[in-house]
Amino acid sequence: MRAAPIFDVANVLSGAWKPLLDFKLVPEKLAQLQSDYLAESTALWNRLLAPADGADGAGKPKPLDRRFAAPDWMGSPSTAYLAQMYLLNARTLMQMADAIEADEKTKARIRFAVQQWVDAASPANYLALNPEAQRKALETQGESIAKGVMHLLNDLRQGHLSQTDESVFEVGRNVATTEGAVVFESELFQLLEYKPLTAKVHARPMLFVPPCINKYYILDLQPENSLIRYTVEQGHRVFVMSWRNPEPSMAKLTWDDYIEQGPLKAIDVVRDITGSDKLNTLGFCIGGTILATALAVLAARGERPASSMTLLTTFLDFSSTGVLDIFIDEAMVKMREMTIGADSPGGGSLLKGQELATTFSFLRPNDLVWNYVVANYLKGETPPPFDLLYWNSDGTNLPGPMYCWYLRNTYLENNLVKPGKLTVCGEKVDLGSIKVPAFIYASREDHIVPWEGAYRNLQVLGGDTRFVLGASGHIAGVINPPTKGKRSHWVADPGDPVDSHVWLDHARELPGSWWGEWSRWLKPLSGKQIPAPAGYGSAKYPVIEPAPGRYVKQKAT
C-alpha cells in the first residue's frame, strides 16, 4: 500500500552487488551454510526416492508457505520436490545475504536484492512449473489461459498490474461518498467541507491534510470505514484538502509552493469560513510532515492558529526510516535532482504516479505483485473487488523539484528536525516551536513508517504529546473503525519515556480501534458546542461543486 515517497528499486537492484567486490563471506560461515545445504538437499532427495509409509509425501513443502499449499503441489513427487527445493534454495540464499560482513545499509541492500530475485524465481510464477495453473487449463480446455492473456493485454493497455476489479468502483459513487461540497479551489488543491451529522458542532473546526502522493479518499472509502465520516459523527465541522493530481504545467512546483499554497492557504480559508481563530489539524503520512512544516512556518511568523495537531503514521525525525533507507544515498538523490528536479534541463518535470505504485508494490512483492501475476495471468482469474486496492491503484504524480527537496532534506540529510537548519517560505523552521497538544499515532507492523521512527516525534515537538500504537500496517492500522471490533491498540500513561521499547513494555493493550481514544483526546480541545451551520462555505467562499470534487477524479497520466 502506498503512502510514502518513491524510491528507485532498479537502482537498488543494480547497485546492491557492488559491495560484494569489497566484502566477502567469512569462510567458516560459508562452510557451515554449504554443509547444512548439502545435508538438507540430500534428505529431500532421499525422501523423493523412498518416501516413508504414512508420510505426508515426498518432499512436501512447508504448509506455512501459501504459494505451495494447494493439493496440486503434493500430487506428485516431482512437483513436491520442486517446491521444497525452491524453499531450501531461497532460505540458503537469504542466509548467505545475512552472513555477509558489511555495514548495515550495505547488508540491507544486498538482502533486498536477493529477496527480489528469490521471490521472482518461485516456480509458482511460471505456467510450465505451476501444477495448479496447468490443472485449471486442462479443466477449462484452455479458457483460463485465454482469459489470462486478455488480462495481461488489458494491464498493458492501462499501464499497471490489476490488483482488484477496478470496473466495480467509481469515485463519488461508491467510494468517497460522504456528503459535502467544494468551497475553495486553487491550482494545487480543492477544499472540501462536509455536511454536519449532528445538531450541534464544536466551535473549533477540523482540517485534514492527507498525503499528496495519493488520493485523500483513503480516509473516506466506505461509510462504515470512513475516518472523515466518523469525525463528522463526533460533532466536528470537518474540512479536507483534496490535492490536485499534478499536470505538466505544475512540474516546477517546489516544497515551498506546497506549504504556502497548501495548508497555509487552507488554514486561512477554514478560519475565514468558520469565524474561528483556532482549529484542530490532522496530517496523515507525508501530509503530517507537510502540516508540521506549515505550523512551524506560522510559529516563526508569530501565528499559532492550531488548537491541536494529530499525526498519523508520520515521520518528522527521519533518522530511522526502516526499509526505505536502503534506497537513499547521495548518488541516487543527485541523479533525481538532475533528471526531474530543479537542476534538470527545463527546471523540473513530473515524477509519474505509476513509478510510485510500482516501487511500493515491490516492497511486498509476493503479496502485491506475484500473487496477482499467478492469479490474473496463469489462472485467468479476475481479482475480486476491494476498495482499498482500488485506491492503491489510483496513482498520483509529483512535481520533481518538490519531491527532490523532500528526498534530500528528510530521508537523506534529516534536516527538517534540526532547528533553524532549513528555510521554508522565507522562515527558519523549528518543529519545537509547535507548542500545541499533539496526538501521535503509529502502526506496529508498518514497514513504511516504522512505529519506532514515528515515536521519535515525541522528542521533536514542543507541546504535550499523546502516543498511541495500533496493530497492523500503514493503512489497515489507520483505517480501523470501532464498529468492526478488529485488532487492538496500546496506550500508556502520560510521561512517556524516551525509548520506544521501554514505552511499549509499560503500555496496556486494549481491544479494538484507536479511534475512540483519539476522539476522547480531541473533544476538550475543540471548544464549546454551537448550532451546526445550515449550509456550506460562506458568502466569500460559495459552493463550487459537490464533494468529492473534480481534482480527486483526475487520473495520473
* Active site amino acids: 285
Cβ neighbours of residue 447 under 8 Å, at least 6 residues apart?
322, 323, 363, 364, 473, 474
CA within 13 Å, CB half, 121: 15
C-alpha dihedral, 397 to 401 to 407 to 408, nearest 10°: 170
Are the C-beta atoms of 125 and 374 separated by less than 8 Å? yes
Q: Which of 222, 220, 221, 241 is nearest to 231 (CA)?
A: 220
What phi, psi does 351 have (nearest 5°)? -85, 120
Cell, residue 467: 502516543
The answer to whether 261 and 187 are in contact (CB under 8 A) is: yes
Nearest CA to 320 out of 432, 211, 410, 430 is that of: 410
Q: Which amino acid is at 343?
A: D
Tell me the C-alpha distance between 65 and 56, whole Å.
Answer: 16
Q: Is 275 exposed, middle or buried (0-12, 13-18, 19+ CB in 10 A)?
A: exposed
Grid cell at residue 315: 515521520
DSSP designation for 370: I
Coil, strand or helix: which one is 230? helix
Distances (CA, A) of 394 to 55, 125, 557: 48, 26, 11
Say which amino acid occupies 100.
Answer: I
* Strand 279-284 to 306-312 pairing: parallel
CA distance linking residue 61 with residue 85, whole number of Å: 8
- By the 10 Å C-beta count (0-12 exposed, 13-18 middle, 19+ buried), 139 is classed as exposed
Grid-cell match 521533536, residue found: 460
Integer Cα distance of 244 and 251 in angstroms: 12
CB proximity list for 261: less than 8 A, separation 6 or greater: 186, 187, 188, 189
Residues contacting 331, CB < 8 A, separation 6+: none
CA distance 391 to 169: 9
End-to-end CA distance of the chain: 20
Strand partners, 310: 282, 439
